[in-house]
A and B are shown apart, each in its own frame.
Chain A
Amino acid sequence: MSTPSRTVRVRSSGRAVHDTLTAYLFILPSLAVIGVFGIFPLFFTLYVSLFKWRPGGKVAFLGLGNYAEIFGKDALPLLAVLASIAGFVLAGLLIRRRRSRAGGLLLAAGLIVLAASLVALAFFLPALVAHGDKEIFDALRVTVWYSIGTVPLQLAAGMLLAVALSRRMRGQQAFRVVYLLPYISPAVASAAVFELLFSLRPDSFANQLLLLFGGKPLQWLQEPKGIIPLIFGAVPRAAGVGVVPSYWLQWAQGPSLALMSIIFYSLWVFIGYYALIYLNGLSAIPRQLYEAAEVDGAGRIRRFFSITVPLLSPTTYFLTLLGVIGTFKAFTHIYVLRHPAASGTVDPLSVSIFFTFFRKARLGYASAMSILLFAIVVGLAILQQRTLEKGVSYGD
């Protein structure tokens, strides 16, 4: 979107120089702070990640040693996994061109590449995890579950809530104020409450609610078991079946109950916020569209899916970007809600990095982990921009 106004016209080259100097003077304070604390750190982290660095200072130069510890010294699994990721991207590109000429061929090629990538991933990811730092890959798994558990629900519930709140009714403003409360209150405080609400004591709120529905008390924030075995009763034996199946069996357990409790907290915080953003987007949809659709005989649900959802897609795209990247950056409430008993199933990479730095005092290794996190976030942002934005319709 281009901005409507112009900058002040330059009168002469002398003016241009003067303007440039003034501009930089104006920007200097920001640049100084952001330069030292926002840009320099990125390069400094890269530097630190090449060393064994303890609180007292540098200890030894490791080169890529820290990264070797993260991914394991064996290069094959890492290369295979990276290749499979590249394969997914390639497959996506090929499949998207299916509507063009020679589309059938491209589609077939795309599907083959997709299948090959899936197989490669299925075999080599477990090998990568086995060779590398298990804690980091557990953290990535936690982040994936956390994303899947929060973003789609927040989008859907937020959208529905916004539609509900956009109708004429009394107390509309009051409702909006109330629904935003969870978002504006400090996470340390509200997470502290949730810690009590989801405690494993039989008299905690969550357990009392469960009792009301005839269930037995659960361990909630302290329960590292996945929700799939908890719901369906079966605990797939992950021991003694070989590296590959046992790794994927772990995924089959789903997020842990502890992580689910944290997801509940996130939903409680963000649904109101998402609804507000959607409300903003809703107000830009012209009424005529709905009127016209109604005249054509479209029911409320049809109108929702053919008008509301597509026209809200820019907002959805923005919120998806915000949401997914947000799950990688999430820290405060997880730090408050996490319990050591469930540590491997509730700590995303950001928390893992924090403890590697703060408790294990391995500054070099923590830096390497944060470079990995950065690379993932950038990769995701680019990916989302390339793929999702294609599906966004900016007006008719």
Chain B
Amino acid sequence: MKRAPLVLAILLLPLLVFGQGKDLAGVDPTGQTINFWYQHSKDRDTQMKSMLDDFNKSNEWNITVKGEYAGPYDQIYNKMIASIAAKNPPELVVAYQNQSATYAVSDALADMNPYVNDPKWGLGKELDDFFKGFISQDVNAQFGGKRLGFPPNRSIEVMYCNMALLKSVGIMAPPKTWDEFEAACRKVTNAEKGTYGYALDNLDASHIFAFLVSRGGGIALADGSGYDLNTRQMKATMMYMQRLVASGAARKIPKKYDDQTDFGNGLCAFTTGSTSGLTFYDSAVKSGKSGAFEWVIAPIPQVLASGIPALDLYGASVSIPKTTPQKQLAAWLFIKWFSEPKQQAQWTKYSLYFPVRRAAEPLIKDLLDKNKNFAIAWNLLKTANLKAEPPYAGYDLVRDAINAAYSRILDGADIDQTLAELDVQANKLFKDSAP
């Protein structure tokens, strides 16, 4: 009859108004293949692949996730930029909040809020089980509150301490304050034995962020309109490190991971790094020149000995690039599976990354009992004052600038001038990269 099209249109109208792109009910994720780019290398790559295998075999929609070690974070970033331009991004990718922001500038990412909140496919009540601090990190104000990623795991920046070396000079516990740290570094430095205090990695701005946070500072302006790098905490950090390097109690490393190597060989007392490095430090120590020795992790030194330590919260999230609705949903279903307590516990046991929800804790109890260092770290995660680096688009470039300034200062450059220039440069980068 003639009125059929009209009736149809009226029936479909609600879909038009409410359902555009937000209604996942009609999307079918069956049989999709998902390419997943991550930064897990070597053993961890193997472990992740075995978990992917589990998912591929057990999931009811026949979704296949293909994992690929795509290099460290920086390289993944470069690759993503290129693949966005080539219009063939992977279906799932690991990204820090500032990296996902940069991808979002090119409108390359799917908003994950609809997935998280979907009545059929979403997390529902389970959302409450996740640590609020982690879950909210990926909601980006620069992009109108879109959720640009989801946390599969987390870690924090800590200090690795060679207790054997420290005890040999009379220091029985990890230093709690910056003053204690400096004293310990100097005491341990011995030209004859070739030992020194702090293996300084000037290639990772996250260390600087951790130092700033420990002094009550940060990097971003409070109102989110840019960076504030010429602060008293930054100056204090720079003066401190400049002094330490000049005295020989700290040494710059030539390239990445050399601090871990020196630590493993028993040459230095301290390094700073992510808790996710626990397994790598373990093997570095075991295969090192001096064989196994006593070492622990501890919070980054603070200004005062008492009080809750302020630490840098790490760990990238995973983001879903815009592809097809089916692939996007399939990618989300994998993330959802990965965030279940059982998988979270399994991944934690493999990688020593932290789970992102409380329900996983009972399942990792044996790990907490066995691995003293991990237990220390887990406790810190739950109790410390955690701060994260800013999720601004283009922050990767600011990190480069911070590293370069840090390096120049360690070589003796004028701190005030360098920091003033850095602040100007960073804010220019902020403007250049903004959406």
CA distance A131 to B277 in the complex (A): 44
A151-165, CB < 8 A from B: none
Residue B105 is within 8 A (CB to CB) of chain A in the complex: yes
Q: B397 near A360 (CB under 8 angstroms)?
A: yes
What 1/0 mask marks residues of chain A from 236 to 250 whose CB sits below 8 Å from any chain B CB? 000100000000000
Q: B81 near A224 (CB under 8 angstroms)?
A: no
Q: B417 near A239 (CB under 8 angstroms)?
A: yes
**What's the least CB distance linking B142 to chain A, in Å?**
15
Please give me the residue from chain B that is nearest to A341 by CB atom: B407
Q: B81 near A55 (CB under 8 angstroms)?
A: yes
Max chain A Cβ within 10 angstroms of own Cβ: one of B105, B108, B254, B432: B254
Residue B43 is within 8 A (CB to CB) of chain A in the complex: no
| The residue from B108, B254, B397, B403 contacting A359, defined by CB atoms under 8 A apart | B397
Q: B84 near A56 (CB under 8 angstroms)?
A: yes
Please give me the residue from chain B that is nearest to A56 by CB atom: B106
- Give the interface SS of chain A, mostly helix, strand, loop or mixed: loop
**What's the least CB distance linking B342 to chain A, in Å?**
38
A43-58, CB < 8 A from B: 54-56
Chain B residues, Cβ within 8 Å of A362? 432
Max chain B Cβ within 10 angstroms of own Cβ: one of A55, A235, A362: A55
**What's the least CB distance linking A309 to chain B, in Å?**
43
Chain B residues, Cβ within 8 Å of A56? 84-85, 106-108
| The residue from B252, B394, B407, B414 contacting A224, defined by CB atoms under 8 A apart | B407
Residue A323 is within 8 A (CB to CB) of chain B in the complex: no
Q: B403 near A341 (CB under 8 angstroms)?
A: yes
Residue B20 is within 8 A (CB to CB) of chain A in the complex: no
Q: Top 8 A-B pairs ranked by shortest CB distance?
A: A56-B106, A55-B85, A341-B407, A55-B84, A361-B81, A199-B254, A239-B417, A200-B254
Chain A residues, Cβ within 8 Å of B202? 341
Please give me the residue from chain A that is nearest to B108 by CB atom: A56
- 9 A-B interface contacts by CB (under 8 A): A55-B84, A199-B254, A339-B255, A340-B203, A344-B404, A358-B82, A359-B396, A360-B394, A362-B432
Tally of A-B Cβ pairs under 8 angstroms:
66
Q: B82 near A222 (CB under 8 angstroms)?
A: no
Q: B105 near A54 (CB under 8 angstroms)?
A: yes
**What's the least CB distance linking B83 to chain A, in Å?**
8
With A56-B85, A223-B411, A340-B407 given, is the CB distance from A201 to B203 under 8 Å? Answer: no
What 1/0 mask marks residues of chain B from 14 to 50 whose CB sits below 8 Å from any chain A CB? 0000000000000000000000000000000000000
CA distance A53 to B202 in the complex (A): 32
**What's the least CB distance linking B87 to chain A, in Å?**
8
Q: A358 near B408 (CB under 8 angstroms)?
A: no
CA distance A45 to B78 in the complex (A): 21
**What's the least CB distance linking A48 to chain B, in Å?**
12
What 1/0 mask marks residues of chain B from 359 to 399 whose CB sits below 8 Å from any chain A CB? 00000000000000000000000000000000000101100
What 1/0 mask marks residues of chain A from 346 to 363 whose CB sits below 8 Å from any chain B CB? 000000000000111111
Please give me the residue from chain B that is nearest to A361 by CB atom: B81
Please give me the residue from chain B that is nearest to A223 by CB atom: B411
CA distance A18 to B167 in the complex (A): 92
**What's the least CB distance linking A35 to chain B, in Å?**
23
Q: A224 near B411 (CB under 8 angstroms)?
A: yes
**What's the least CB distance linking A132 to chain B, in Å?**
12
What 1/0 mask marks residues of chain A from 307 to 347 whose CB sits below 8 Å from any chain B CB? 00000000000000000000000000000000111111000
Q: B411 near A55 (CB under 8 angstroms)?
A: no
CA distance A239 to B255 in the complex (A): 30
Chain B residues, Cβ within 8 Å of A342? 407
Residue B102 is within 8 A (CB to CB) of chain A in the complex: yes
Residue B129 is within 8 A (CB to CB) of chain A in the complex: no
Please give me the residue from chain A that is nearest to B105 by CB atom: A54
**What's the least CB distance linking A45 to chain B, in Å?**
15
**What's the least CB distance linking B422 to chain A, in Å?**
12
**What's the least CB distance linking A229 to chain B, in Å?**
11
Chain A residues, Cβ within 8 Å of B78? 358-359
**What's the least CB distance linking B377 to chain A, in Å?**
29
Residue B53 is within 8 A (CB to CB) of chain A in the complex: no
